[in-house]
Amino acid sequence: MSTDQKNNLFVLIQSLTKSEKRQFKLFSGRLDGNSNANFIVLFNLLDKMKVYDEGEIIRKTAIKKTQLSNTKANLYRQILVSLRLTPQQQTTQIIIREQLDFGTILYNKGLYQQSLKVLDKAKKMAIENEENNIAFEIVEFEKVIETQYITRSLSSRADDLAILTKELGIKNVLASKLSNLSLQGYSYLLKNGYAKSEEDYQRIKTYFDYHIPSFDMDQLGFREKLYLYMAQLWYSFIIQDFKSSYKNAYKWVALFDSNPKMIQTNPVFFLKGNNYLLESLYYLRYTSKFDHVLNTFKQALQHKDFRFNDNTILLRFLYLRYNEINLHFLKGTFKEGIETIPEIEIEIDQYHEKIDAHHIMVFYYKFACLHFGDDDHVNCIQYLDKIVKNKELGMREDLMCYARILRLISHYELGRDGQIEALIRSTFKFLLKMNDMHRVQAEIIVFIRSLKTIYPHELKDAFKLLHGRLKQLEDHPFEKRSFLYLDIISWLECKIDGKPIQEIVAAKAKLMK
């Protein structure tokens, strides 16, 4: 009895803070007789439950089975109304919507002048914060009221509203086209990953060139620029042009730097922009710049005016932790990174209701890579097994692919020759099934399979030979993505030079500063 539909109310209640629960009890008890209402009784019971149990609800309350569905729906609505009134939820968008609701109430009572005053205040706030969709809605409502509230200034007022409607309409159409392009680009990236061939590249280029609307950069507002930079970022990620990714992510973040008030009204976009800026720098292996941007990002999140809610707290956790680990990869400080894993796992457990399987598996892959860099292949394999056995990664087959290859290398490092052949077969089968066999992957698998026929004194030459072949692919437009998931070059160099891999990576980091 624990389908997602039945659990939605339970999950919502479990997500409430102590202050939000106290606020709800005060809110629901505002009217006499509510203390024994079914929805209050249900709230108190669900709040104490560790696991949702519909049978227990029927046994411990006077709520009949036929009443339960309506009672849950009523409780869900009452909680949302209560949350809407809490100071933490008073975002600019909610305040504007609230004023629009007040204007509608006054209009319905025939108080046209009062309604127009409230709507004018809401409209100014919407335009100031570039919430142009709701501003357009408010203006359209003002036009309806003006037809019933006759004044001597109606002629000029009508002209002003008509001009404003046209301006907002043009902005909204352009913003809609750019946001659609951004959404389609992001969707393509999630479903298909990076461009794998010249055919992929031409297809995505043609799509973007055809769908990007004409615009005058000087006439774009904050919202249109934001969607433009987002669309261009997804495009550059897909075609693996990471210098362009960096430039577009930088513009995205700089847009907020030049419009700091927008950080409060659009905190999620601010967080995402910084994350993608760091991701671009990571792909470019620009260690010192990455370190600087990460510290700047942390300082911004510590500012007293930054608005935190459950959503932004979760994103802060994900983006800071991901990039802190990435910094360890760039610097070769794998052991220091491993020391943070227990704390991160506690945080993952804390947020487990809100983190999807994809994000958890990304953490596991990063944990595995940290252990791989520290030559701890036993723990590396333990985390990789969790990914390989996961059945919910339909949209992240790339992660599954490189988890299998890294697991294969770790088994080789542990000398588990008896398992190598079976792992090679299963990895080959998986790559063929997902139709994503690249030269880098094939070279690695073929090389590991050939190791059993190579004499010990020939190993170094064999590693050098593979190293030379892979180095030629490191900057290949459709092969270089493999090196983003697996630093196979550094592993080969550690085998050739007889040095720990973290020493190899640390030396490279110094050269990249």
| pLDDT for the residue 32 | 54
pTM (predicted TM-score):
0.84
Q: Which residues contact 249 (CB under 8 A, 6 or more apart)?
A: 229, 233, 273, 276, 277, 279, 280
Query: What CA–CA distance (Å, rounded) separates 239 from 207?
Result: 13
On whether the CB atoms of residues 387 and 367 are closer than 8 A, the answer is no
| pLDDT for the residue 505 | 85
Q: Residue 203 corresponds to which amino acid?
A: R
| pLDDT for the residue 315 | 95
| pLDDT for the residue 424 | 84
What is the domain partition of the chain in residue ranges? 4-89, 332-513
- H/E element holding 512? helix 501-512
Query: What CA–CA distance (Å, rounded) separates 337 from 394?
Result: 28
* Ranges of the chain with pLDDT below 70: 1-6, 31-36, 88, 150-155, 392-397, 434-437, 512-513
| pLDDT for the residue 450 | 84
The sign of the CA dihedral 73, 78, 79, 84 is positive
Chain centroid, CA 166 distance in Å: 35
Strands (DSSP E) contained in 238-293 are: none
Query: What CA–CA distance (Å, rounded) separates 344 from 350?
Result: 10
For residue 461 the two structure tokens come to: 């030459």
| pLDDT for the residue 80 | 93
| pLDDT for the residue 232 | 96
User: Could you tell me the maximum CA-CA distance found in the chain, to the nearest angstrom?
Assistant: 99
**Number of residues assigned to the chain:** 513
Angstrom CA distances, 362 to 91, 369, 376, 386, 406, stand at 31, 11, 19, 11, 14
- Whose structure tokens read 């609505």? 77
